[in-house]
Amino acid sequence: MSNQKEYNVAIVGATGAVGQKMLEMLDLVGFPIKELTPLASKRSAGQTIDFRGEKVVIKEAKPEAFEGIEIALFSAGGSISKELAHEAVKRGAVVIDNTSAFRMDPDVPLVVPEVNKEDIQKHKGIIANPNCSTIQMVAALEPIRGKFGLNRVIVSTYQSVSGSGNAAVEELKDQSRAMLDGKEAEANILPVKSEEKHFPIAFNALPQIDVFEENGYTFEEMKMINETKKIMHTPELQVAATCVRLPFFYSHAESVYVEVNEGNVSVEDLQNVLREAPGIVLEDDIENQVYPTPLSAENKTDVFVGRIRKDLDVPNGFHLWIVSDNLLKGASYNSVQIAQAIAENNK
Amino acid sequence: MSNQKEYNVAIVGATGAVGQKMLEMLDLVGFPIKELTPLASKRSAGQTIDFRGEKVVIKEAKPEAFEGIEIALFSAGGSISKELAHEAVKRGAVVIDNTSAFRMDPDVPLVVPEVNKEDIQKHKGIIANPNCSTIQMVAALEPIRGKFGLNRVIVSTYQSVSGSGNAAVEELKDQSRAMLDGKEAEANILPVKSEEKHFPIAFNALPQIDVFEENGYTFEEMKMINETKKIMHTPELQVAATCVRLPFFYSHAESVYVEVNEGNVSVEDLQNVLREAPGIVLEDDIENQVYPTPLSAENKTDVFVGRIRKDLDVPNGFHLWIVSDNLLKGASYNSVQIAQAIAENNK
């Protein structure tokens, strides 16, 4: 370790739900850091965060803050990334961006290391971290695609409120308390802060994540559809998504239907492939009621898969239940894995 | 109304979540009742319930209790129905059974009045009320099938705890309070009371409703698959289901993918059919964030449909979001509609 190169790392959005987890994950994997620079809005500048037992002062996220930075992890919203990512690149940083700002840009690799680590090499300064619900799905589907081929995916999601940030976590808590006390629940954030109408998420389900597109799909649904094809390099893959926000704090779950290309594939075949797959934990033993849930996946960096079963009508059709912590593998941990891959490439 | 025949009606399971709603629904529709006989376990016998402004004493559910009963609404669990339904029929009652005891019996009509009211005529004493998650789905899909044909259904459900009874409702409340206070959540009922393991439902999602079958599907999933085909008289229809229990109190929601037989069907075509369909309310105006949710459907007898959109790859594929109160249209209201149809046939 002593000869290993150490990096000047910036975290943009260090006070946010994902930013906080990025600090944890950098520490967890023992990422070689020379100096850490937490960046946030002017409002948070001057406050401190704890990192590896030391207090580090938060600076304002502005172009000059990237002088000397080698790796910049962005997670402060798309508009901040659009404003500052190129400024960071201009100053010599490699940007790992966790917003949707550059994901579909043909010049920007969109990377889940277990799936397409090699795409990192093609970067021109920016590497995009995919959408949380996309990451866990492609991590579980790529091993299946690699072995048996894949021609169709239909997913319905069960997504936690932390995907909308810390304020949404607080909103769920406040609304839950109010409703349990028989009071009216106040809704100001979900389903989408910028939208006109807000609905309670406590003891409810909202079939809207992000704004609606012209085609009737939400932006979240289109992210899952388009990003999946880009990451797996399968433009012809049929992908459909319905995204639903639910009253739990962490982890997203997904009910996924897939059709593989090969015939004569069994549930055991899929289980065997997933058992060996990197970053995947098979939790599929119905006789003992073993299957993943949002609570059981919380605070873990893996993607958990269970309830694998054959479609009763379509011979090459299968159903799966995929769960992962949306702030870890779905965001911060995947970003840190990309940083690790960059460090490895530099060795 | 004065010349209308009035009925001696028994409610078996009068103290349960569905039984209580059956009383409400009988009153709501103004069902012609000569005498109401609430039946329950020995433990509840002697207590009273309120009906149409009067206190009515609960009697013990046993064979002799059905003497003189003309219509018996059962909702006290499958074993009680198996024990007592034939006893009620023997004594001259028509049984409307809300358990899974007889649903797949070829001699027992399985009825959603908007879909297959005519099947009621074939009864031999027992008419079965379908599973809650099945009812709302077939109510919304039958108008589509009738107009455009239907060859495939893939559904992922979002089901409330009241489907597991009043004790599950209390469990969700208790667990929610405990977890908000940073305490451990005690789990004794969900996912399935009789199973060995129980998991918290508060701030979680459980991909198990009812016990597992040999084929890897849960009994709830097989109910949706088999009952849908029976009610719609479409044994060849391809149906797949994944059923998930979620932390809300009332209403089930469903993300449903369908393939219709006809080509050139548009979203507007589906909307127009559903707008005119009995028992269906179209809530589908994404520009104004109009779509149904479990909370918005609560305490309403209709089935609400929104988020209708075309699959982006399969020309005859569509996605829908279907929500209804599981204790009303999903159980008590549908049973009372069957009773109304019987009364109509007797006119």
Residues A107-128 have pLDDT tens digits of 999 999 999 999 999 999 999 9
- Token look-up 């790992």 returns A96
**pLDDT band (50, 70, 90) for residue A4:** confident
Q: Is residue B49 part of a domain?
A: yes
CB–CB contact B216 A246 (8 Å): no
* A13 close contact with B: CB closer than 8 A: no
Confidence tier at B216 by pLDDT (50, 70, 90):
very high
Over range B173-190, report the average pLDDT.
97
* Per-residue tokens: B42: 């020995």
Does B179 reside within a domain? yes
Return the pLDDT at A328.
98
Gap between the Cα atoms of B339 and B151, Å rounded: 31
Instruction: Give Cα A245 distance to the centre of its chain.
Output: 15
Active-site position among A86, A123, A132, A319: A132
Answer whether A195's CB lies under 8 Å from B265's CB: no
* Same-domain status, B22 and B120: yes
Query: Does B1 fall in a domain?
Result: no
Residue A312 near residue B214 (C-beta atoms within 8 A): no
**CA A63/CA B279 separation, integer angstroms:** 59
- Whether residue B138 sits in one domain with residue B109: no
B57 touches chain A (CB under 8 A): no
**Residue A130 amino acid letter:** P
Residue B335 three-state SS: helix
Same domain, A28 and A125: yes
* pLDDT tens readout for residues B264-295: 999 999 999 999 999 999 999 999 999 999 99
Q: Contact at 8 Å (CB) between A272 and A144?
A: no
Q: Which residues pair with A206 in a beta bridge?
A: A245
Residue B304, CA distances (Å) to B4, B90, B251 in order? 33, 39, 11
Cα separation, B333 vs B339, whole angstroms: 10
Q: Is the same domain home to B202 and B311? A: yes
Which residue is listed with tokens 């044994």? Answer: B235
Chain centre distance of CA B172 = 20
CA angle B218, B220, B225 (to 5 degrees): 95
Tell whether the model's pLDDT for residue A2 goes beyond 70. Answer: no
ipTM of this complex prediction, to 2 decimal places: 0.96
pLDDT (average), residues B18-37: 97
- A204 contacts chain B (CB < 8 A): yes
Same domain for B39 and B188, yes or no, is no
Query: In Å, how far is A178's CA from the nearest CA of chain B?
Result: 11
What's the mean pLDDT when you consider all of chain A? 97
**CB nearest A244 (choices: B206, B255, B314):** B255
Interacting residues of B68 by C-beta distance below 8 A, sequence separation 6+ = B8, B91, B92
Cα dihedral B133, B134, B135, B141, rounded to 10, equals 120
Taking an 8 Å cut-off on Cβ atoms, the answer to whether A203 and B249 are in contact is yes
Q: How confident is the model at residue B1 (pLDDT cuts 50, 70, 90)?
A: very low
Exposed, middle or buried by CB within 10 Å (0-12, 13-18, 19+), for A264? exposed
**Nearest chain A residue (CA) to B212:** A286
Nearest-CB residue to A255 (from B239, B244, B310): B244
Q: pLDDT (tens digit, 9 = 90+) per residue, A130-182?
A: 999 999 999 999 999 999 999 999 999 999 999 999 999 999 999 999 999 99
User: What pLDDT, on a 0 to 100 scale, did the predictor assign at position B42?
Assistant: 95
Instruction: Give which of A76, B28, A112, A247 is closest to A120, Cα–Cα.
Output: A112
pLDDT above 90 covers a percentage of chain A that reads 98
* Record: contact B248-A253, CB cut-off 8 A: no
As a whole number, mean pLDDT of residues B242-261 equals 98
- Asked whether residue B172 is assigned to any structural domain, the reply reads yes
Q: Are residues B312 and B171 in the same domain?
A: yes
> Considering the domain boundaries, does residue B2 fall inside one?
no
pLDDT mean over B234-254: 98
Beta bridge partners of B74: B12, B97
Position B346 scores a pLDDT of: 86
pLDDT at A346: 87
Residue B209 scores a pLDDT above 50: yes
Which residue among A248, A287, A308 places its CB closest to the CB of B203? A248
Q: Number of folded domains in chain B? A: 2
Residue A107 located in a structural domain: yes
Residue B220 has pLDDT above 60, yes or no: yes
Distance CA A63, CA A84 (A): 6
Report the 10 Å Cβ neighbour count for A110: 24
Which residues span the domain enclosing B66? 7-129+331-345
Domain identity same for B224 and B206: yes
* A1 and B CB contact within 8 Å: no
Question: What gap in Å lies between CA B220 and CA B212, rounded to an integer?
Answer: 9
> Does residue B156 belong to any structural domain of this protein?
yes
A194 inside 8 A of chain B by CB: no
Joined together, the tokens standing for residue A13 give 């959005």
Q: Is A252 an annotated catalytic residue?
A: yes
Q: What distance in Å separates the CA atoms of residue B60 and residue A27, rounded to the nearest whole number?
A: 64
One domain for residues A279 and A223: yes
pLDDT score of B3 more than 90: no
- Does the distance separating the beta carbons of B291 and A158 come in below 8 Å? no
Does pLDDT of A283 surpass 70?
A: yes
Q: Is A194 exposed, middle or buried (0-12, 13-18, 19+ CB in 10 A)?
A: exposed
Distances A346 to A5, A23, A340 between C-alpha atoms, Å: 8, 22, 10
The 3-state DSSP class for residue B67 equals coil
Residue B343 Cα to chain centre, angstroms? 21
DSSP collapsed to 3 states, chain A: CCCCCCEEEEEECCCCHHHHHHHHHHHHCCCCEEEEEEEECCCCCCCEEEECCEEEECEECCHHHHCCCCEEEECCCHHHHHHHHHHHHHCCCEEEECCCCCCCCCCCCECCHHHHHHHHHHCCCEEECCCHHHHHHHHHHHHHHHHHCCCEEEEEEEECHHHHCHHHHHHHHHHHHHHHCCCCCCCCCCCCCCCCCCCCCCCCCECCCCCECCCCCEHHHHHHHHHHHHHHCCCCCEEEEECCECCCCCCEEEEEEEECCCCCCCHHHHHHHHHHCCCEEECCEHHHCECCCHHHHCCCCCEEEEEEEECCCCCCEEEEEEEECCCHHHHHHHHHHHHHHHHHHCC
- In three state form, how does the secondary structure of A63-78 look? HHHHCCCCEEEECCCH
Query: Do the chains contact at A246 and B205, CB–CB below 8 Å?
Result: yes
| B320, B337: one domain | no
Per-chain mean pLDDT for chain B: 97
Chain B residue with minimum CA distance to A152: B313
* CATH number for the domain harbouring residue B80: 3.40.50.720
Count of alpha carbons within 13 angstroms of residue A8, beta-carbon side = 12
Min distance A112 CA to chain B CA atoms (Å): 24
Q: Are A228 and A153 in contact (CB under 8 A)?
A: yes
Residue A242 touches chain B, beta carbons under 8 Å: yes
Same domain, A221 and A109: no
Residue A218: how many CB atoms within 10 A of its CB?
24
CB contact under 8 A, B207 and A255: yes
Give ∠ CA B155-A224-B250 in degrees, rounded to 5: 40
Residue A82 lies in a domain: yes
Structure tokens at B51: 């009906």
CATH of the domain at A176: 3.30.360.10
Find the distance separating the first CA and the last CA of chain B, reported in whole Å: 12
Closest CA to B12 of B2, B3, B22: B22
**pLDDT given at position B2:** 52
* pLDDT at residue B32 is higher than 50: yes
Of A17, A83, A327, A15, which Cα lies nearest the Cα of A95?
A: A83
Contact A318, A258 (CB under 8 A): yes
Q: How would residue A1 be classed by pLDDT, with cut points 50, 70 and 90? A: very low
Q: Per-residue pLDDT for A294 more than 50?
A: yes
**One domain for residues B310 and B207:** yes
Residue B209 · residue B241 · CB < 8 Å: no
Q: Are A69 and A37 in contact (CB under 8 A)?
A: yes
B186 close contact with A: CB closer than 8 A? no
Specify the pLDDT at position A290.
98
A48 to A37, A40, B310: CA distances (angstroms): 11, 11, 49
Domain co-membership, B114 together with B212: no
